C-alpha cells in the first residue's frame, strides 16, 4: 500500500447529513485537514447522502455552514466542483452500479434474503463492541433463499484469511475474515449501494491517497481491502483517529444534541476555543 514517490497527497472529509455535525466528527475531520495541510495536499469534501430516508437538505446546508465556521477549507466538493465529481453520493449511483456489476460478474457476491433479525437470531450474542454480528452464512450458495423476500447482495469473505494493514496512528493491524467479520452487504435490498462499496468506489475514483476517519471503522477497513482487491483497485493508506468520549467514557454520537456545532456556536464559543487541545 505504499504510495509512489512524488504522488500528491489527497485527503477527504466525508460527512453524512443525517443530523447536525457534532464536535466528535469535527475533531476527526480536523485531523484529516491538518494531515493534508502538512503535506501540501488537496482536501476533498464528499457529501455521503446515500441514505435518502435520513439525509435532509437542511442538514446539508448546516453541514457546509458548520464546517466553514470551524475553519475547514476544501479544494474539491459539491459546492465548488473539481475533476473527480460529482461529490455527492446520491449523484454517483451509476458509478457504484458499475462496480457492483463487476463484483457480480466475477462471482464475489451472492443474494441474501436474511433480515437483520434473522442474522441476530442465528448468531450467538455478539461480542461487545462489534460493529455488526458475524453473518452466519445462511444464504451462501448453494443455499435455499426464502422466496419472495427482498434480497440484498453479500460479499463472500475468504474465511480464515488475515487482512493486514499498517495504520498511520495505530501501527500494524490484522483482522481474520470469517472470524472478526463475516460476509457483508454491498448492495441493499432497496437497490442502494451499501456504505462499504460506496466508500471504496469513491475513495478510489477520487484518487484519495490517505483515508482519515474514526477508529470505529478499523474493521471496515479490513472489509474494504477485500473490495479493493476484488475490484482491482489500489487501496489508500489509512489513519484511524481516537474517538471522543464524554466524561463517563460514552462515545459522542449525533444524538448528543448539546454537542452539535450549531448548539456550541449558539453558546458564543469561538472556533479556536473549540479546537484547543485537538491533536493535529
Q: Which residues bind Zn ion (CB under 5 A)?
A: 112, 114, 138-139
| Closest distance of CB 154 from Zn ion, Å | 7
| Closest distance of CB 145 from Zn ion, Å | 7
* Spatial contact of 136 and 123, defined as CB atoms under 8 Å apart: yes
User: Closer to Zn ion at the Cβ: 115 or 262?
Assistant: 115
Q: Which residues contact 35 (CB under 8 A, 6 or more apart)?
A: 9, 11, 41, 210, 212, 239
Catalytic machinery residues: 254
Q: For helices 195-205 and 218-230, give the axis angle rounded to 10 degrees.
A: 70
* Spatial contact of 103 and 230, defined as CB atoms under 8 Å apart: yes
User: Closer to Zn ion at the Cβ: 115 or 205?
Assistant: 115
Q: Which of 272, 269, 264, 209 is nearest to 239 (CA)?
A: 209
User: Closer to Zn ion at the Cβ: 71 or 150?
Assistant: 150
Give the integer Cα–Cα distance in Å for 28 and 16.
13
| Closest distance of CB 159 from Zn ion, Å | 16
Q: Which of 14, 11, 12 is nearest to 63 (CA)?
A: 14
Strands of 102-207 (E only): list them: 109-112, 152-155, 162-167, 171-176, 184-187
User: Closer to Zn ion at the Cβ: 55 or 185?
Assistant: 185
Give the integer Cα–Cα distance in Å for 201 and 107.
18
| Closest distance of CB 222 from Zn ion, Å | 21
Amino acid at each position: 500500500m505504499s504510495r509512489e514517490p512524488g504522488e500528491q497527497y489527497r485527503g477527504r472529509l466525508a460527512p453524512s447529513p443525517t443530523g447536525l455535525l457534532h464536535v466528535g466528527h469535527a475533531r476527526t475531520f480536523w485531523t484529516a485537514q491538518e494531515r493534508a495541510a502538512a503535506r501540501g495536499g488537496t482536501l476533498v469534501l464528499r457529501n455521503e447522502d446515500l441514505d435518502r430516508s435520513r439525509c435532509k437538505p437542511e442538514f446539508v446546508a448546516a453541514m457546509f455552514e458548520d464546517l466553514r465556521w470551524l475553519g475547514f477549507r476544501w479544494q474539491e466538493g459539491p459546492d465548488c466542483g473539481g475533476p473527480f465529481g460529482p461529490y455527492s453520493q446520491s449523484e454517483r449511483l451509476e458509478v457504484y452500479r458499475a462496480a457492483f456489476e463487476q463484483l457480480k460478474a466475477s462471482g464475489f457476491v451472492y443474494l441474501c434474503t436474511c433480515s437483520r433479525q434473522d442474522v441476530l437470531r442465528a448468531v450467538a450474542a455478539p461480542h461487545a463492541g462489534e460493529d455488526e454480528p458475524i453473518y452466519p452464512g445462511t444464504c451462501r450458495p448453494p443455499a435455499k433463499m426464502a422466496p419472495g423476500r427482498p434480497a440484498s447482495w453479500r460479499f463472500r469473505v475468504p474465511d480464515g484469511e488475515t487482512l493486514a494493514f499498517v495504520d498511520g496512528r495505530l501501527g500494524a493491524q490484522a483482522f481474520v475474515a470469517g472470524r472478526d467479520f463475516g460476509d457483508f452487504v454491498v448492495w441493499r435490498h432497496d437497490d442502494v449501494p451499501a456504505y462499504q462499496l460506496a466508500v471504496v468506489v469513491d475513495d478510489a475514483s477520487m484518487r484519495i491517497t490517505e483515508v482519515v476517519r474514526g477508529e470505529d471503522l478499523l474493521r471496515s477497513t479490513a472489509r474494504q481491502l477485500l473490495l479493493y482487491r476484488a475490484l482491482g483497485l489500489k487501496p489508500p493508506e489509512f489513519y484511524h483517529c481516537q474517538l471522543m468520549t464524554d466524561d463517563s467514557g460514552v462515545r459522542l454520537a449525533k444524538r448528543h444534541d448539546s454537542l452539535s456545532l450549531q448548539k456550541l456556536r449558539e453558546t458564543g464559543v469561538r472556533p479556536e476555543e473549540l479546537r484547543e487541545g485537538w491533536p493535529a
